[in-house]
């Protein structure tokens, strides 16, 4: 078991630092433990990856809060890794946000973002992405803060306005979420450095960015704009899918298990299942 407050404080230290780091995109206990063993400072559990992991479904707000929270709980239980979660729109209105905070805080996450996207897609216009009003977005942040029981839990106000409307709109929205009490801010889909400069100038809170192009993936520049986390995407899950596909296909086509390539060694598997800890417990509790 991990110390939740210790992990939340470690996450806050990252946000309060002067460097920008890439979080590890994780989706289950083993991927989170890999991230720990490699040395990642923070894990990121995205709604899109959660939908694929739990349901095998696209990111269309099909996953329920309960399903998301249970997978987050499994990750937090298994790994000594501060976990940042994408809590989408809080699974509804501001009252649903309160329930979202309760469930995810109890699951052990270090932080979560609440976004201002109008979700799920609306009848008659399911393709166009729209945003809720600034007032509603701010109310969701306020509701999240009211629901929070542990002051170390990080509440992040998030917007995709930079990709949907303008950088100025994104800056205005994030400034409002700062006024509502958010601990950090998350800007998705920033197009270029000029847009990020506009957003960074509007707030003194730590920033998180995601869905940005190669031009912005310069951690020194990002750090100078108060960006503390920069998402790189969710390639680990896609890589795991491809590895599973290739392995099953090879077995189906008759390849002997001993001839499979890129299979984790026994030593690696034992390390990731923390086998030595369990063997110690067997000796301590099950042997005379």
pLDDT at 75 over 90: yes
Establish if 283 belongs to a structural domain.
no
Establish if 192 belongs to a structural domain.
yes
Q: Which residue range(s) make up the domain with 27?
A: 4-239
pLDDT at 192 over 80: yes
Q: Residue 155: what are its φ and ψ, rounded to 5°? A: -105, 125
288 band by pLDDT with thresholds 50, 70 and 90: confident
Tell me what pLDDT residue 108 has. 98
When divided into structural domains, the chain yields a total of 1
Residue that has been written with the tokens 């590895």 in this structure: 243
Q: Which two tokens stand for residue 108?
A: 């052990």
* Mean pLDDT (whole number) for 85-90: 97
Residue range 32-60, pLDDT digits in tens: 999 999 999 999 999 999 999 999 999 99
Does residue 124 come out as left (phi exceeding 0), alpha (psi in the -120 to 50 range) or beta? Answer: left
Tell me what pLDDT residue 215 has. 86
Establish if 200 belongs to a structural domain.
yes
Establish if 80 belongs to a structural domain.
yes
CATH number of the domain encompassing residue 63 = 3.20.20.60
* Mean pLDDT (whole number) for 236-261: 97
Distance CA 231, CA 225 (A): 15
* Mean pLDDT (whole number) for 103-125: 94
Distance CA 238, CA 219 (A): 24
Distance CA 259, CA 118 (A): 50
* Mean pLDDT (whole number) for 95-99: 98
121 band by pLDDT with thresholds 50, 70 and 90: confident
Tell me what pLDDT residue 214 has. 86
Question: Radius of gyration (Cα) for the chain, nearest Å?
Answer: 20
Establish if 251 belongs to a structural domain.
no
Residue range 167-184, pLDDT digits in tens: 999 999 999 999 999 999
Establish if 271 belongs to a structural domain.
no
* Mean pLDDT (whole number) for 193-212: 97
Q: Residue 250: what are its φ and ψ, rounded to 5°? A: -65, -40
Establish if 249 belongs to a structural domain.
no
Establish if 163 belongs to a structural domain.
yes
Q: Which percentage of the chain shows pLDDT scores above 70?
A: 99
**pTM, rounded to two decimals:** 0.96
Average of per-residue pLDDT values in the chain: 96
């Amino acid at each position: 078991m991990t110390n939740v407050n210790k992990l939340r404080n470690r996450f806050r230290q990252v946000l309060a630092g002067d460097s920008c780091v890439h979080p590890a995109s994780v989706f289950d206990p083993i991927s989170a433990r890999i991230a720990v063993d490699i040395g990642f400072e923070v894990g990121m559990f995205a709604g899109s990856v959660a939908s694929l992991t739990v349901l095998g479904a696209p990111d269309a707000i099909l996953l329920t809060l309960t399903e998301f929270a249970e997978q987050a709980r499994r990750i937090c239980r298994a790994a000594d890794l501060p976990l940042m979660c994408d809590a989408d729109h809080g699974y509804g209105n501001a009252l649903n946000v309160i329930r979202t905070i309760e469930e995810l805080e109890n699951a052990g996450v270090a932080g979560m973002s609440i976004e201002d996207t109008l979700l799920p897609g609306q009848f008659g216009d399911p393709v166009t992405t729209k945003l809720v009003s600034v007032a509603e977005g701010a109310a969701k942040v306020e509701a999240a803060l009211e629901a929070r029981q542990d002051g170390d839990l990080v509440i992040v106000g998030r917007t995709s306005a930079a990709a949907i409307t303008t950088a100025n709109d994104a800056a205005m929205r994030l400034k409002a979420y700062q006024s509502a009490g958010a601990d950090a801010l998350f800007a998705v889909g920033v197009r270029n450095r000029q847009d990020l400069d506009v957003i960074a100038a509007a707030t003194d809170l730590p920033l998180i960015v995601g869905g940005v192009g190669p031009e912005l993936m310069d951690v020194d520049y990002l750090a100078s704009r108060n960006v503390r986390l920069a998402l790189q995407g969710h390639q680990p899950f896609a890589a795991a899918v491809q590895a599973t596909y290739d392995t099953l296909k090879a077995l189906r086509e008759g390849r002997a298990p001993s001839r499979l390539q890129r299979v984790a060694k026994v030593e690696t598997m034992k390390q990731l299942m923390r086998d030595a800890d369990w063997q110690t417990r067997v000796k301590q509790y099950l042997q005379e």
